[in-house]
Structure 1
Amino acid sequence: MNNIKKIGLTALAGSLVAISAQAAEMSVNGATMLTYTSEDGTEVTGNPFGMKTNLAFTASGEVNGYNVSYYQASQDQFAGMSSARLSVDMGDMGTIAFDQGSGSGLATIDDKTPTAAEEIWDGLDVTTSGRVGAAGSSGVFNYINTFEGVTLNAAARKGSGTSNSDGASSGVGQGAWDFALTADGSMLGVDGLAIGAGYGEAENGAFATGGDNAHTTAFANYSVGPVTFGYQMSYEHNNVSATDDEETKAWGLAFNVNENLSISYGERDVVFRGQGAGDVTEKGDGIAVAYTMGSMKIAGNMNEGSNMGGVSAANDSMTEIAVSFAF
C-alpha cells in the first residue's frame, strides 16, 4: 500500500510540473557591465576595474483566471538572488504582490530628479541620507492600481523588513506602511509634466520616545523638448532618541543632446535636524553623461558630497565609468 501511495504522489507531482511548464511563459534578460571606479584620496581604491553580470528571470501565466507572474533578479556575478517578486494581476481591481527587494510604495519615488546615468549620491560613502521609504521594499505586500490617471503604489509589512526564504523573519523591527501617488500632466492639461507625492509611517514600538517615524516626499519633473528639469522635497521625522530628522531639497537638469547622447547635473541638501545639537547640512552634487549605441552603453558619473550622513567634515567623492552590454 505504501508503494502504491508513493507511485500516485510521484505521478501527480509530475503532472503538476507538466501543467505549470505549459501554462507559463519564461523570459530571461540581463546585462554585463565593466566599470572603472576612482575614489577620493582618503580611500584605498585597490584594483579600480570591476565587472558584474545582472540576470533577470520572469515567468507568467494564467491561474484560475488571473495573470500570475514571478520575477527574480541576481546580481554581481551570480552572487545569489538579490530581489524577487510574486504578483497577481486582478484586472480592474489592481495588482497585488509580495516583494522581496524589487521596489514598492514610497521607495519607488525616493529620488525622481532626472539624471543621465546614476543618482548624484551613487557610490558615495553614505547613500541613505534623505531617501524616504517607511515600509521599504523587502518582505512587504504591495498593491498597485490606477484611478482616473493617478497611480497608487502602496506597501505594508508586519515586523522586520529582513528578507526570508521561508517562515517568519528573525530581524528586529516593527511594522510599517507607506504609499506613493504619481500622475502625468495630462490630467492637469500640462504636457511634459510628471508629478508625485507620498507618505508613510514606521512603528518604533519599545524603542520609541514619541510617536512613529513619518516619511513624506513630493516631486515634479517638467520636460520641454530635449530638456527635463526636476525638483523634489522630502522629510523624515524620527522619534528615536539621538536620531536626527532629515529635511531634503534636491534638483536635477538633464539634456538629451541627440538620440544617443545625454548629460545631466544635480544638487541636493540634506539638513540633519539635531536633537539637542546644532543642525548639520549634507551637500551633494553630481554630473553624469551617457552614450548609447544599440545594446551597448557607455556612462560616467562624478559625484561629490560633504558632511556625509550629517557628520561634519566627512567628505567624499567618486568617479565611475561603465561600459555595459544588454542581452
Structure 2
Amino acid sequence: MNNNNKGKNMTNLKKLGLSALAGSLVAVSAQAGEIAVTGSANVTYVTGEKVNGGKTIGTDRDVAFTGTGEMDNGWTFKVSTLLTDTYTVSSSFTSLTMGSLGTVSFGSDTGGASYKYDEEVPQAYEQISDAVQTSANIVGNQMDSNSIVYNSPSFDIAGASISLDAEFSPNADGEGAGDGGTTEKVAAYDATAGHGGNFGKGYGLGATIKYAGLTAGAYGSERENRDPTTGSTKVRDAFEGVWYAKYSVGPISFGYSESYLDSGLNAAGGDNAATAKTVRTASGIFEGEQFSVAFNVNENLSVSYTDSSDNYDEQSNATTETADVSMDTKAIQIAYSMGAMSVKAYNMDTKNPGYDNDASDTSITEIALGLAF
C-alpha cells in the first residue's frame, strides 16, 4: 500500500473516531440529568450573659450543588455537595431511589438515619444544642460517614403511615474518605492505623409512624468498641437511642423526646461533678428529655418554648455518686418569614452547662437575618 494513501486513511479514521466520540458525548450529556445550585446567607448577632460574656456579629454562607437524573427503568439518582464559607465540604452524598423499593445513600456527613429522630420536637428556630451541646443531638452521628443508609418508602397500615430507616458502617468512627481513601487501605492490613483501630461495626435502625396529627419515631444504634492498646477503657459496646412524639392540632404543636447514650467506657472512679464533660469521652451514661410547644400565629409568624433536661449518671456503683449532675436549658424562640427572607431569634438559658455543677449559668441570645436562593 502507498504510504501517502495509508496516511490519508489513518487521518480519515481518526476524524471518524473523533466524530463518533463527540456524538456519543453529546448523547450522554443530553441524558445525564440536571444540576441545580442553591444556597443561603445568614447574618447573626449573638450576645451572652455570664462571666466575661461578649457580643459578636457573624456571617454564614452555604452553597449546595445538586445533580439529579433518571434511569431507563424509572429509578432516580441524586448527587449533592454542600460547601461552607471557606469552601470546605460540609456534606456530600450520592443517593439512588429505586421506586417502591426505597432509597440507598452513601457519603460523608450525610446525617445518616438518625437525623430524622434527634431533638425532633417543634421549634420555631434552632435546636437546644445550638446554644449548648447535649447528648440528644449526637445520638447516632458516629455513622454519618463511611456507611450505607437505607430509607424505605411510606406504607399505609390501618390508616397509619409507617416508614423505616436503617444504616450500617463497617467502621463506625464517623470519618469518611473518597474512593476508599488511604486510611481505609492502610487499615486493611494494619488494625492500629486509619479506620482500623478503636471502633468496629455499627448498626442503626429507626421507625416513624404518622396518624392524623400524631407523629412518633424511635431510633437506636450500637457500635462495637475495641481498643488494641494496653489498659483499654472500653468495657462494652456503645448503645445510643432516642424516641419522640409530637402532635399538631390547628396552629398548635406539642412535642416530647427522650434520649439515652452509653459510650461503653469504664466508669471506675467516675468524673468529678465540678468538671465539664464531653459526651462519648466521659465515662457514665447521658440521658436527656425535651418538651416543647409551638404556635403558628399565621403563615409567616411562629413562636415556641422548649424545656430540656440532660442528666449525667456517673455509673461508678459507689454508695454516693457525687459526679451525677443535671444540665437544664429553657428556650424561647420566634421566627418571621417574608418569601426568601426570614428573621429569627432565640434566648436560651442553661444551668450547669457542660454537665458541670460548678460552671456559671449561661444566657445566650441570637438574632439572625436569613436569605435563601
Query: Which category describes the TM-score, using the shorter chain as reference length?
Result: 0.7 to 0.9
CA distance in 2, matches of 1:114, 1:144: 22
* 8 A contact 2:37–2:65 mirrored in 1: yes
Structure 1 equivalent of residue 81 of structure 2: 72
* 2:135 is aligned with 1:129: yes
Matches within 5 A, 1:207-226: 207=232, 209-226=234-251
Task: Provide Cα deviations, 1:176-230, integer angstroms capped at 9, x if missing partner.
Answer: 1112211211xxxxx2111111111011112564331111211110111111010
TM-score by length of 2: 0.77
Matches within 5 A, 1:1-150: 15-16=24-25, 19-20=28-29, 22-43=31-52, 45=54, 48-63=56-71, 65=73, 66-75=75-84, 77-124=85-132, 127-131=133-137, 132-133=139-140, 135-146=142-153, 147-148=155-156, 149-150=161-162
* 8 A contact 1:134–1:215 mirrored in 2: no
Secondary structure at 1:121 match in 2: helix
CA distance in 1, matches of 2:22, 2:262: 52
User: Structure 2 residue aligned with 1:287, among 309, 332, 336?
Assistant: 332
Structure 2 equivalent of residue 193 of structure 1: 214
Structure 1 equivalent of residue 347 of structure 2: 302
Q: C-alpha displacement at 1:164, in angstroms? A: 1.3
Q: Structure 2 counterpart of 1:35, which letter?
A: T
* 8 A contact 2:66–2:79 mirrored in 1: yes
Structure 1 equivalent of residue 200 of structure 2: 174
CA RMSD after TM alignment:
2.6
Structure with bigger strand share is 1
Secondary structure at 1:309 match in 2: helix
Task: Provide Cα deviations, 1:84-123, integer angstroms capped at 9, x if missing partner.
Answer: 1101111121111103113221232111111000012313
User: Structure 2 residue aligned with 1:157, among 157, 169, 173?
Assistant: 169
Quick check: 65-74 or 283-292, which moved more? 65-74
Q: Structure 1 counterpart of 2:251, which letter?
A: P
Return closer, same or farther for 1:310/1:13 CA change in 2, 3 Å cut-off: farther
CA distance in 2, matches of 1:116, 1:10: 57
Structure 2 equivalent of residue 188 of structure 1: none
User: Structure 1 residue aligned with 2:210, among 171, 176, 184?
Assistant: 184
Secondary structure at 1:175 match in 2: strand
Secondary structure at 1:110 match in 2: coil
User: Structure 1 residue aligned with 2:315, among 275, 278, 285?
Assistant: 275
CA distance in 2, matches of 1:43, 1:64: 62
Secondary structure at 1:112 match in 2: coil
Q: Which has the larger radius of gyration?
A: 2
The percentage of aligned residue pairs carrying the same residue is 33
CA distance in 1, matches of 2:364, 2:200: 35
CA distance in 1, matches of 2:326, 2:44: 31
CA distance in 2, matches of 1:303, 1:10: 65
Structure 2 equivalent of residue 263 of structure 1: 303
Q: Unmatched 5+ residue regions in structure 1?
A: 186-190
Q: C-alpha displacement at 1:41, in angstroms? A: 3.2
CA distance in 2, matches of 1:16, 1:174: 43
Q: C-alpha displacement at 1:166, in angstroms? A: 3.3
Secondary structure at 2:114 match in 1: helix
* 8 A contact 2:135–2:287 mirrored in 1: no
Q: C-alpha displacement at 1:62, in angstroms? A: 2.2
Quick check: 247-256 or 132-141, which moved more? 132-141
TM-score by length of 1: 0.87
Secondary structure at 1:197 match in 2: strand
User: Structure 2 residue aligned with 1:203, among 224, 239, 248?
Assistant: 224
Structure 2 equivalent of residue 244 of structure 1: 284
Q: What count of residue pairs does the alignment treat as equivalent?
A: 315
* 8 A contact 1:204–1:211 mirrored in 2: yes
CA distance in 2, matches of 1:268, 1:13: 61
